[in-house]
Amino acid sequence: MKSLPLLLFSFLIILCRTSFAQGNIDDCQTKLSIFHEYVKAKNYDAAYEPWAFVKNNCPDLSIAIYIDGEKILKNKIENAKGNEKRKFIEELIEVLQKRLKYFENKTHKGKYLAKICQLRFDNRDILQKDIKDLYDCFDAAYIEDKSTFTHPKSLYTYFSLIVDLYHNGERPIEDVFDKYDDILEKIEEEIKNYSEKLNKLIQKEDGGTKLTKKEVQRKNVYQDYLKNYDLISKSIDVKLGVIADCENLIPLYNKNFEANKDDAIWLKRAVSRMYNKECTEDALYEKLVKAYDDVAPSAETKIYIVTILIKKGGNPAEINRYLDEAYKLETDAYKKSKIAYKIGLILKKKGSYARARSYFRNALKLNPSNGRPHLAIAAMYAESAKNCGDTNFNKRAVYWLAAIEARKALRVDPTLEKAATQNIKRYEALAPSREDIFKCACFGKIIKIDCWINGKVTVPNIKKR
């Protein structure tokens, strides 16, 4: 009987705890509703107190705690100074970490771990973080979940830090090159991803179907990402700088060749970098290409073989055979478009404009969101203006064709906005002037252009120019 009061006491404690917990949850739900409304109204200061209560007392109640919390704390950080700013930065890091803990299934690890690292990097002076700690943070995030570590800024920061470590004598040059290749390959994956999504919308537009409002929004998002990845790729090359000049590459690859001559990935990266850095005159380049083609023959290796054949003044028939073989070998549409573009550039350089255009057009069919083939075709038209046409007016009319092609690049590819706009202006300036059109009274006339171009262009209405 003596145990009865003890049992009763225990029951009362459990009842009180349950009641308190239920009351806590009720308070949390009420305050969640309050802070969410404040956030929608962008009244972040008013949202902070109810939000902090919910975060601290019911961290697993709703993902809104973390979505809204980022907005609230970013506003606080922007408007704070000194120790208060540091406090809010650390709180935001805590919020990102808690989201990973409590809503793992709704949170991409790579994305949010990279966010934490980027926040630390952007505020490294306030948080007193050194380069090695920051690099280790990004490296751990990348290894943990490479698939969702995709933000252009974080990819650049990640690479930038290993270059800084190299300059500080804390990392060997091989590590820098490996990371360069790794990150550029990751960027290329993302470019392919967004290009393929964008291609569907461009093909729909080209087919005469108007995009819905949501599709227009998605198109803008895809183009923005492609623009950012293009910008980051260029910035990474700038950051790498002279580290990857031929003077550094050639002795490094000579030293490591024997140990890696059967490693397809190493050979691919070595050949690609030698090719892109124009180190193709050295005998090492040919040795690397042959080894790469022996170990892993592909469309890409055939292109590299062609560069050697051209350098040696090889037989045109053999060169064309390799080019055609390279195109046939690739089966992935996106990669095939890149091969077609490379072949087009090789043929353009050799002056085989008609064949080059054929490959450029194939590249466009396979990847219509890449405007570079349009610019290449436009350049060939412009270079042929003096040789195509029976009169001075008709020769200069070829520049209208070039401008039309350049406009196509501008329409589909946001990464070429500056280059395309400059080319359009130049081609239009070289085309017949308003006065020329007025004198011949030929606006609206269709001009047939012979030679390899074998096309036609309509003289524009001077009232519209």
Q: What is the CATH number of the domain that holds 171?
A: 1.25.40
Confidence of residue 442 (pLDDT cuts 50, 70, 90): confident
Question: For residue 109, what are the β-bridge partners?
Answer: none
The sign of the dihedral angle between the CA atoms of 433, 434, 437, 438 is negative
Q: Rounded to an integer, what distance in angstroms lies between the CA atom of residue 158 and that of residue 139?
A: 7
Confidence of residue 6 (pLDDT cuts 50, 70, 90): low
3-class DSSP assignment, residue 455: strand
Residue 7 pLDDT exceeds 90: no
Q: Is residue 98 within 8 Å of 61, Cβ to Cβ?
A: no
Q: What residues make up the domain containing 384?
A: 369-465
Q: Rounded to an integer, what distance in angstroms lies between the CA atom of residue 447 and that of residue 465?
A: 18
Pull the structure tokens for residue 366: 């396979």
Pull the structure tokens for residue 117: 């690292």
Tell me whether residue 252 is in a domain: no
Residue with tokens 């490296």: 139
Tell me whether residue 394 is in a domain: yes
Q: Rounded to an integer, what distance in angstroms lies between the CA atom of residue 216 and that of residue 204?
A: 11
Tell me whether residue 90 is in a domain: yes
Question: For residue 455, what are the β-bridge partners?
Answer: 449
Residue 251 pLDDT exceeds 90: yes
pLDDT digits (tens, 9 = 90+) for 36-92: 999 999 999 999 999 999 999 999 999 999 999 999 999 999 999 999 999 999 999
Pull the structure tokens for residue 332: 């992935």
Tell me whether residue 163 is in a domain: yes
Pull the structure tokens for residue 278: 């124009």
Domain count, the chain: 2
Count CB neighbours of 7 within 10 A. Answer: 9
Pull the structure tokens for residue 285: 């380049």
Question: For residue 457, what are the β-bridge partners?
Answer: 447
- Please tell me the pTM assigned to this model: 0.86
What's the residue count for the chain? 465
Percent of the chain past pLDDT 90, that is, above it, reads 87
Tell me whether residue 376 is in a domain: yes
What pLDDT, on the 0 to 100 scale, is given for residue 18? 43
**456 φ/ψ angles, rounded to the nearest 5 degrees:** -150, 155
Tell me whether residue 358 is in a domain: no
Count CB neighbours of 379 within 10 A. Answer: 17
Tell me whether residue 303 is in a domain: no
What pLDDT, on the 0 to 100 scale, is given for residue 22? 56
| Beta-carbon contacts of residue 93 (< 8 Å; ≥ 6 apart) | 116, 119, 120
Tell me whether residue 34 is in a domain: yes
Q: Rounded to an integer, what distance in angstroms lies between the CA atom of residue 179 and that of residue 248?
A: 16
